[in-house]
Amino acid sequence: MPIFELDEGHPVLVQPMQPAPGTFAADSSALVAEHLASLLGEKLFPVRLRHGDAPGPHLLALDTTGRPVVVDVVQILDGDGLVRALQHAGNAARLSRADLLRTYEGGADMFDADFRDFRDEAPLSAAQTGPLPGARLLLVCAEVDPQVMDAVAFLREPGRQVEVLQIGVVRGVDGRRYVDVSPLVLRQPARRTVEPSSVRRVRHHAAPADDLASTPVPAPTAASHARNPVTAPTPAVPAAPPPPADFGGGWTADVLPAPAAVPALAELAQGHDAIVALVWFRERRGQRLHATLRNDGLIELPDGRVHASPDDAAADAANTEGTVDGWRAWRLGDGGPTLAEAAGAR
């Protein structure tokens, strides 16, 4: 479910952060163990909860029809995690009543009575539904590897009984953490920022050396002169730009020109001997975003995307469609001046 912030004069979409790696296991385990009914909108009968590094799914349960429900929790849902979860669901679908009795943590002699009490407390319409074939699979994750996004979309089609919930963290002004659990939204525009586990300082890094300027050119040898005799130096001819890529069908792709740097930023960049690290600390959300002011005056994000406008760079980094004043958001390192102050812009 989308979350919007209303304190900035107009609704701004809040993009929850990925939980920090050190907190994901504890957060997700508590949610699944204590609030699974709220997440799914139905009560389940827990059969076995995984402890520690034991094999098997995070949770094996039954719904009111007696159908197995497999819950797997993984921070990054990649190909290996997806295959492993499907294997767990396949194994659960073949469980017999004797297997459930052996697996039930409450004891085989209490299984029938406990499950009967569970069904008696369920809504009448759900409790009277006949048993359904196969098993249900619920995946809880912080992020999905883009390489398996199409496979996940296929598995979530109606009739396949695969659900994916995504965990995100929103930090309040007082530092409290709020966990958002929502159905996965496919085709996300960008990976979400990871929740900072601690405050880290950003250092300025020296600019990388120009490979062409630093690579020595070998001197010509007698053998090379013999093979390629010349009587006068040949003037250097600039290489022609590559033709537009031909994708077939009689059309070509346009080659987009590189963005032109803002003069104020270009002048600011030229006044520094090293690449300038830009930092935007969004205190209200507890987010720390990073970018680089390159020597050519363009702003480069950590994923390689380049912008000429600080506003566009800030909106892209924050993954928001609203207008952002990047001149006053970006600072030159921790505690440094804003771009507006440093460049004398605006």
| CATH code of residue 16 | 3.40.1350.10
**Which of 125, 157, 183 lies at the terminal end of a domain, its last residue?**
183
**Which of 128, 161, 183 lies at the terminal end of a domain, its last residue?**
183
> Residue 119 domain-assigned?
yes
> Residue 75 domain-assigned?
yes
What is the mean pLDDT of the segment spanning 66-82? 92
Q: In the chain, pLDDT over 70 holds for what percent of residues? A: 70
**Spatial distance between the Cα atoms of 341 and 261, rounded to a whole number of angstroms:** 18
Contact present, 306 and 293 (Cβ < 8 Å): no
> Residue 27 domain-assigned?
yes
Number of structural domains in the chain = 2
Q: Edge-to-edge, what's the strand order for the sheet holding 68-77?
A: 45-49, 59-62, 68-77, 136-144, 162-171, 177-183
pLDDT for 221-239, tens place per residue? 444 444 444 444 444 444 5
**Spatial distance between the Cα atoms of 42 and 65, rounded to a whole number of angstroms:** 12
167 shares a domain with 27: yes
149 shares a domain with 35: yes
> Residue 17 domain-assigned?
yes
pLDDT for 84-105, tens place per residue? 999 999 999 999 999 999 999 9
Q: What is the pTM of this model?
A: 0.53
pLDDT for 115-156, tens place per residue? 999 988 877 655 555 556 789 999 998 889 989 999 999 998
**Spatial distance between the Cα atoms of 68 and 133, rounded to a whole number of angstroms:** 9
Helix H or strand E encompassing 238: none
123 shares a domain with 29: yes
> Residue 249 domain-assigned?
no
Q: Torsion angle of alpha carbons 37, 39, 41, 47, nearest 10°?
A: -40
Residues spanned by the domain of 301: 263-343
**Spatial distance between the Cα atoms of 253 and 84, rounded to a whole number of angstroms:** 40
268 shares a domain with 142: no
> Residue 37 domain-assigned?
yes
Is residue 83's pLDDT more than 90?
Answer: yes
pLDDT for 293-342, tens place per residue? 988 889 999 888 899 999 999 988 888 777 788 999 999 887 789 988 88
**Spatial distance between the Cα atoms of 171 and 18, rounded to a whole number of angstroms:** 11
Contact present, 338 and 327 (Cβ < 8 Å): yes
